[in-house]
Amino acid sequence: MIADYRDGYSLEQPFYRSPDVFERDMERLLTRRWLLVDHESRIPDKGDYFLFNIGNESIIIIRESDDKVNALFNVCRHRGSRVCLEQQGNKRLLTCPYHAWTYNLDGELRPPQLMPPDFDRSRFNLHKCHVTVYHGLIFVCLSPGAPPDFAEQYAPFDEMMDFHGFGDAKIALKRDYPNRCNWKLVVENFLECYHCAPSHPEYCSVHPPDQLLALGAGPGSGPEEAMEKYQPILDEWTEKTLAMGHPVPEFERDEHSLDLAQLSRVPINDRNFASETRDGKPGCKKLMGKFRECDHGETAFVFNPTNYILAFNDFALMVRFTPRDAINTDVQFSWLVHKDAEEGVDYDTDNLIWVWDVTTKQDKQITENNNAGIMSSRYRPGPYSMHEARVAAFIRWYLNAIRLPA
């Protein structure tokens, strides 16, 4: 099926519904990459934890100390019970609720009662999951083997991550949008703005048509001539922004990369919007990171096709697409603000989430209708438009990833 793929077209039906394909997606791709799971402000104190659930896996993300966050498979080494049951909480020790096998916060098994004399405790620590914290963002990699080199992979993001000050952020709000469809349909939807005009009036009220056409889903997502036409506006804004001392990075990896990462900054629109809010006024009075004055810009961090941050001067939103099974995907959005910002004083959550909450609900309908149609015997892969160039690139990247030997 991979060999038969026709470039520039959507995938054949089984890629979107088959449990076998999903197993391969998990095994060859999703469990071998660094995945953004949350902002570390979710677990400020020692013993604070939350669960990250993907496919049949449950990972405990737990703070061991100010400097150390651990990620551990939520599977007791005794009889396999879940160790942590609540989605989040605080634990002094990780004690399995079944037989009270107890692990330190790094997963080390403490001596259990009543084991046979030949029991070798050192062989029964909780399985570790690779984890790294990067400017306040927690990434995990579920690979049983060595993970990709994180620092090397995301070095191009360093300066801009630092400028946005994500290390000094906090989560203002988090919302879940379960989508009844394959995870690739969620990604395809997010990687193109061809559907914005028909589907997202609120989003389009903030971003002008020319810009959505040129780079609505990031640089390279639209037709070349639209980009050329839009270039003067971009150039003018870039010049002003650089003059303010603000970075305007451009970075993009191709479909042979591990991550399909991309980094870009553009103006929100041509109407001097300070932020992506209904009226263009700032969403939060406290600017984030090194921003001291407003540059009207929007930064898109594409960590990989399932993890994004869209960042303005005053707030950011973190996007996480997490497959549950072949036809269910958990979409989670988290809105980040400066750690010292106060709700009701510096920001109003309704205002922060206005664009993306409604847009994501619309996208849920879209992806589920897309899924329903694809189930038909008459579904055939269709051709991507010039406004879906990044979807086409994603599909090539995906096929490259799952084509690799085990």
Residues 195-214 close enough to bind a second copy by CB under 8 A: 195, 197-199, 213
Determine, following the binding rule CB under 8 A, whether residue 73 of this chain makes contact with a second copy: yes
Give yes or no for residue 8 binding a second copy (CB under 8 A): yes
Selected binder of a second copy within 1, 2, 93, 115 (CB under 8 A): 115
Is there binding between residue 140 and a second copy (CB under 8 A)?
A: no
Q: Which positions from 95 through 114 interact with a second copy, judged by CB under 8 A?
A: 95-100, 112-114
Rounded to a whole number of angstroms, the minimum distance from the CB of residue 397 to a second copy is 18
Stretch 323-352: interaction string toward a second copy, x if CB under 8 A: ------------------------------
Shortest distance in whole angstroms from residue 119 CB to a second copy: 6
198 contacts 360 by C-beta, under 8 angstroms: no
402 binds a second copy (CB under 8 A): no
According to the binding rule CB under 8 A, does residue 10 interact with a second copy? yes
Residues with Cβ within 8 Å of 166's Cβ and at least 6 positions away in sequence, in order, are: 39, 135, 136, 137, 288, 289, 309, 311, 316, 336
Tell which positions 303-322 bind a second copy, by CB under 8 A. none
* Residue of 36, 69, 76, 105 that binds a second copy (CB under 8 A): 76
Q: How many CA atoms lie within 13 A of 276 on its CB side?
A: 26
Q: Strand 57-65 to strand 48-54: parallel, antiparallel, or no bridges (unpaired)?
A: antiparallel
For residue 357, state whether it binds a second copy (rule: CB under 8 A): no
Q: How far is the CB of 204 from a second copy (least distance, A)?
A: 12
Residue 39 or 200: which CB sits closer to a second copy? 200
**Smallest gap from residue 19 Cβ to a second copy (A):** 13
By CB under 8 A, residue 83 contacts a second copy: yes
Cα distance between the two ends of the chain? 17
What's the rounded Cα separation, in Å, for the pair 261 and 152? 12
Spatial CB neighbours of 383, under 8 Å, sequence gap ≥ 6: 8, 9
Decide: 72 and 59 in contact? Cβ < 8 Å: yes
The residue among 88, 118, 84, 89 whose CA lies nearest residue 101 is: 84
**CB 156 → a second copy: shortest distance, Å?**
30
- Give the residue carrying structure tokens 């300070």: 274
Tell me how far, at minimum, the Cβ of 41 lies from a second copy, in Å: 27
Q: SS3 helix, strand, coil % of the chain, rounded to 5? A: 30, 25, 40
> 226 to each of 190, 214, 218, 219, 386, how far by Cα in Å?
20, 5, 13, 11, 10
**Rounded CA separation 126/301 (Å):** 33
| Residues that bind a second copy in the complex, under the rule CB under 8 A | 8, 10, 31, 56-58, 73-83, 85, 95-100, 112-116, 119, 124, 127, 188, 194-195, 197-199, 213, 223, 365-366, 369-370, 372-380, 382-383, 385-387
